[in-house]
Amino acid sequence: MKTALVVGASGLIGKHLTHKLLASQYYNKVTIIVRKKLDIEHQKLEQIVMDFDNLDASKIVADDIFCCLGTTMKQAGSKDAFYKVDFTYPLNFAKAGLANGTKQFLIITAMGADERSWIYYNRVKGEIEKALSDLRFPTLIILRPSMLAGERENPRMGEKIGKIVMDFFAPLIPDNYKVIAGQKVAQDMLELAQKGIKNKDIFESGSLQKF
């Protein structure tokens, strides 16, 4: 039995993942790091309310860390705010976990992640992948889903419109770019954590669709 820690438990994927981890036979304790307490109760669950800008590294302790943090430029309001959520916070949690003995770090980035991309969103996603790779976790698993489907606390209109269009043209769209359910990504994340993967592995959205 192992311990798991989730960052971003209030989001689309993180919420599904937290419930799946609590129901899983593989984990006897699940910790979620949140800005405000969530309406979830379970005998295996520990909620730690924390200021992400003033991280208490001593509390980032688990065998496996699942990072589901992510925002959009519109929600963040500025490039600096976006960078903080999608790069600075994940890297800080990763560094703290590694220092405390975490063996496996799993993160959601995005299709098109590339540190050399001219698209800011994709570039930041690529930069966090590179920074995490440089930490040399015993296991680093990167999931790059395409457009996500599912109910969010803060709905993203662009995703709703995009899903309608992509569903219509689904037969013509390559697997890597088809819409994928947030719940499916959460399940894949849980299952990948049990596969005994060593070093680093990246899973594009097309492979998640078939997983």
Predicted confidence (pLDDT) per residue in 112-128, tens digit: 999 999 999 999 999 99
Whether 162 shows a pLDDT value over 50: the answer reads no
Choose, from 121, 163, 177, 200, the residue flagged as catalytic.
Answer: 121
Active site residue 29: no
Top CATH class, 2-210:
alpha beta
Domain ranges within the chain, ordered by starting residue = 2-210
Distance, in Å, from the CA atom of 59 to the CA atom of 93, rounded to the nearest integer, reads 10
Containing H/E element for 181? strand 180-181
Active site residue 89: no
For the whole model, what pTM was predicted?
0.88
Predicted confidence (pLDDT) per residue in 41-65, tens digit: 999 999 999 999 999 999 999 999 9
Whether 32 shows a pLDDT value over 60: the answer reads yes
pLDDT at 180: 85
Cα 84 to Cα 13, 79, 91, 151, distances in angstroms? 19, 9, 10, 24
Choose, from 15, 29, 125, 184, the residue flagged as catalytic.
Answer: 125
Cβ atoms of 149 and 179 within 8 Å: the answer is yes
